[in-house]
A and B are shown apart, each in its own frame.
Chain A
Amino acid sequence: MEISLIDAAIKGFMNILHLKVFLAMCVGVSIGTFTAVAPQGLGMPLVYAIMLPVVIKWEPVTGIALLIGASSVSAICAAYLPVLFGIPGGSGSQATVLDGYPMGKRGEAKRALGASFMAGGMGCLIGTFTLAAAIPAAKPLIYLMGSPELFVVVLWGLSMVAVLAGRRPLKGLIAAAFGLLLATVGQQEQSGIMRFVFDQPYLLDGISVSIIALALFGIPAALDLALMRLGVEQQPAPLTGKLFDGVKDTIREWWLVVRCSFIGVWVGIVPGIGSQVVDWFAYGHAAQSCKGGAATFGTGDVRGVIAPESANDAKDGGDLVTTLLLGFPQGVVTALFIVALLAWGYLPGPEMIKKNPEVIYSVVWIQGISGIVGTLIGFGLSTQLAKLAQVRYSVMVPIIFIFVLMGAFSVTRDPADLLAVVGFGILGYLMRRFGYPRPAMILGLVLGSLMERYLYRSMASYGFTWLARPAVMVLLILAGTSFFFAVRGRMKSAARNDDDS
């Protein structure tokens, strides 16, 4: 029986009023904070890949609390590395380096951090409110969508890989096709036919997404640390200045925070833009719209920290809109979140809105509360957290080794897990080395099983006539048009560069 959205919102809140859920959220927030602060190696995709095999055995809301708790704060405290070392703390905080590091070098590191915590917390809340508002707004539209429409929506998301793959769209599509192919390894759910199993019992259930994600992201990330010898060959800026100055700056620039937060939400919702650009969009907007920005941005202007940090945090709310309401992820983290939801028996998208709206609202509540807790942790423990950012590679690399090897081996405890993690680790290194985007492969891998499910249902129910459904045709036109314009824009820019040279 369906329940009203207000009842679902209340029930979603009641679901999280359990000690173990609250504790899981706090552990998630702590993990997310550590991940954001620790030297580059531990990105959120890696953390999700490590936690996935563990949390899918938990009760759903407790597992959701851990995962969302971690990801919702990962951007709030992401300014430590940009401000102290002048290196990006992860995707979404690259633009922060431009003004954060000059502030750090001139003795205003704490002011920059205070601004980033406050802007991040406000951005997170704006993103969460948008997510909450999107559920009732999208519900009538979502009810019109069946398997054929959802297949086209997922296909649309995948086609955007070509746009996301920057200067090498073909490589992005090849990586996505490879992910789709890997998703079909094992026994087919619908027919029971073995595909690419080669008489290996290990491959019967397919290759674990956790192992692939751990290897693809963990191994190259730790290699970066080992190559750069962070903390040994690179020294941080001094942690001086006042946190509260940054808070005052952010409150004074509240309208900039609101504008950039909505840029973040928009980037999260629109298929195919991704976290790599959210900070640059916000930074570019701020540099153009702020008074005197053209002259001061890039030299240590606090608005150059506020803009990207608020957008980066708000983006998570937008990401969850498409993940929960349409069932397709915008990046690796939400792709792995979908894997967890599927393992708990939820099918993200219209089916989840119809059958489990209270779980969606639990996600909303956890997202908002975690954002507040993460901001408070940032303010309360700024000095201690700064020490974490200075952990040497010689400590971080073995920690990553532990989590990657233990995370992979815990999936089935089969020695073949070790072979798989080594193989995919080397593949991840080579993909990164030769410009094949790893997120495209993960998107293909996760969306592959959803695509096959929707395609099978569409073919079984309608044959090829599903292609003539009006909503399918509209979505195909939208997908085709957005793909065409994206590719045309790229060709124009290449032609323009040709003329320039």
Chain B
Amino acid sequence: MTAKFTLFFVAVFAGAVWWGWEWPYIAKLMPVYVAAIPGLVLSVIQLIGEASGSEVSRAKRAEGIEMDDTYKAGVDKKTEMRRTLTYFAWFIGGAAGIWLLGIVITLPLLVFLYMLVEGREKLIPSVIMAACTYGMIWGLFEYTLEMRWPPGLLFGY
């Protein structure tokens, strides 16, 4: 699976080199020569290392500082997969809801439903949080700051 993700970078860098190759020198200096070509070389080396298995054993042996926090699920694989998919379903549903219904309706609704259904919170705290969200989005942004949010596709975006 890691190799497949590395393949994504190989494809992106290769595509960037292909697209940018015909550009004038000054335009392709950064994207092609500084970013894409070195990126392509590095990701191909990484891909070969992962495909041959040498990268995994080297990473296990090596020491060093980790720049980013390392991924630790802390739950069994099945639960992790189920919770991850559920989480992304909520998030993508929220984004789709904003596109269809608008942010003023979607975000309070998302908060209410997530707390009630996924978080198994009681009705009253869920309603209070949703009301606070509505108050912030409508009251603060739309009413006080006069920052108009688009209405959503179903309401004539």
Residues of A within 8 A of B36 (CB): 177, 181
Looking at A77-85, A132-140, A492-500, the stretch in contact with chain B turns out to be A492-500
Looking at A10-18, A219-227, A377-385, the stretch in contact with chain B turns out to be A219-227
Size category of the B interface is: 35 or more
Does the CB pair A174–B119 fall under 8 Å? Answer: no
Within 8 A of A (CB), among B37-54: 38-39, 42-43, 45-46, 49
Does the CB pair B67–A170 fall under 8 Å? Answer: no
Does the CB pair B67–A439 fall under 8 Å? Answer: yes
Q: 24 A-B residue contacts at CB 8 Å?
A: A91-B69, A166-B67, A167-B62, A167-B64, A169-B64, A181-B13, A181-B16, A181-B39, A184-B31, A276-B67, A394-B120, A395-B121, A398-B110, A398-B115, A402-B136, A405-B98, A415-B99, A433-B71, A444-B35, A448-B30, A459-B29, A490-B64, A494-B61, A498-B61
Q: Return the CB mask of A147-182 against B: 1 if under 8 Å, else 0.
A: 000000000000001011111111111100110110
Nearest chain B CB to A162 CB, angstrom units: 10
Does the CB pair B26–A394 fall under 8 Å? Answer: no
Residues of A within 8 A of B119 (CB): 392-395, 397-398
Confirm or deny: B143 has a beta carbon within 8 angstroms of a beta carbon on chain A.
Answer: no
Does the CB pair A438–B95 fall under 8 Å? Answer: no
Confirm or deny: B5 has a beta carbon within 8 angstroms of a beta carbon on chain A.
Answer: yes
Q: Which residue of A lies closest to B97 (CB)?
A: A405
Does the CB pair B121–A394 fall under 8 Å? Answer: yes
Q: Which residue of B lies closest to A173 (CB)?
A: B42
Residues of B within 8 A of A406 (CB): 103, 107, 137
Confirm or deny: A425 has a beta carbon within 8 angstroms of a beta carbon on chain B.
Answer: yes
Residues of A within 8 A of B74 (CB): 227-228
Known interface pairs A180-B35, A401-B110, A498-B61; A394-B73 also in contact (CB < 8 Å): no
Known interface pairs A406-B103, A418-B99, A490-B62; A439-B68 also in contact (CB < 8 Å): yes
Q: Which residue of B lies closest to A280 (CB)?
A: B65
How many chain A residues touch the partner (CB < 8 A)? Answer: 82
Confirm or deny: A479 has a beta carbon within 8 angstroms of a beta carbon on chain B.
Answer: no
Does the CB pair A177–B42 fall under 8 Å? Answer: yes
Within 8 A of B (CB), among A170-198: 170-174, 177-178, 180-181, 183-184, 188, 190-191, 193, 195-196
Within 8 A of A (CB), among B73-109: 73-75, 80, 83-84, 86-88, 90-92, 94-96, 98-99, 103, 107
Does the CB pair A161–B67 fall under 8 Å? Answer: yes
Confirm or deny: B135 has a beta carbon within 8 angstroms of a beta carbon on chain A.
Answer: no
Q: Give Cα distance in the complex from A167 to B57, angstroms.
A: 11
Q: Which residue of A lies closest to B99 (CB)?
A: A415
Question: Which of B61, B91, B99 has the most C-beta atoms of chain A within 10 angstroms of its own C-beta?
Answer: B91
Does the CB pair B23–A193 fall under 8 Å? Answer: yes
Within 8 A of B (CB), among A429-471: 429-440, 444, 448, 451-452, 455-456, 459
Known interface pairs A164-B67, A398-B115; A497-B61 also in contact (CB < 8 Å): yes
Q: Which residue of B lies closest to A87 (CB)?
A: B74
Confirm or deny: A421 has a beta carbon within 8 angstroms of a beta carbon on chain B.
Answer: yes
Does the CB pair B26–A497 fall under 8 Å? Answer: no
Residues of B within 8 A of A497 (CB): 61-63
Q: Which residue of A lies closest to B75 (CB)?
A: A227
Residues of A within 8 A of B154 (CB): none
